[in-house]
A and B are shown apart, each in its own frame.
Chain A
């Protein structure tokens, strides 16, 4: 079956630091990959997506590249801000499943 593994948090960084949140997956076929974000007190929102190998999803300064050879979709941002503090979820859709398969989430804390 499908599965997603992402680094456990919390991850604490200083403002303007470089961010990487690792995500690897297991799926049959060619899944679509997503990063969702949940800001404090808000619902889950789609941050970015990639639907085929070597695609790069990007939004709000965040990027992630679909790497089929390493089955990874790591989230990166060059310079984080306090407002990026949130829980980030890596997810996939594929293998014939209708719903999304999520990782456990990574709590990111950015300190001023």
Chain B
């Protein structure tokens, strides 16, 4: 299919290690979003990319979190020195353009920090 894909689907890591999560948006979608969903909570916005503009990083919870996107393609979310409170499902979404209302979500990466 041509939906948003994410990898890995599951990741277990030890506290203090770095992890990288990958998102492949729908081809042609210029806007890309990362969200986090902790157990029993709603989705929290993390970061937003639109084309070649500077990303909106206002939702990143700490400087251990960073993300990159190459052009209008793949994005990686990196968490350095992981903590147990980072355990969550990390969701990526893309939309055709910044003002488009529908965001298409990927299946998520479940991160467990032990």
| A-to-B contact residues, CB < 8 Å | 4, 32, 34, 36, 42-46, 49, 51, 89, 91, 93, 97-105
Contacts and interface: CB of A to CB of B under 8 A. Distances in A.
Given A44-B105, A49-B101, A103 B91 contact: no
B101 A104 contact: no
Contact of A99 (B35, B41, B107): B35
A37 B56 CA distance: 26
B91 A104 contact: no
Interface in B79-97: 91, 93
Nearest to B49: A98
Say what secondary structure dominates the interface of chain A. Answer: strand
Contacts of B44: 102
B102 A46 contact: yes
A45 B93 CA distance: 11
Given A32-B101, A46-B103, A98 B56 contact: yes
B43 A43 contact: no
A93 B50 CA distance: 16
8 contacts: A4-B42, A42-B107, A43-B91, A91-B43, A98-B33, A98-B45, A98-B58, A105-B42
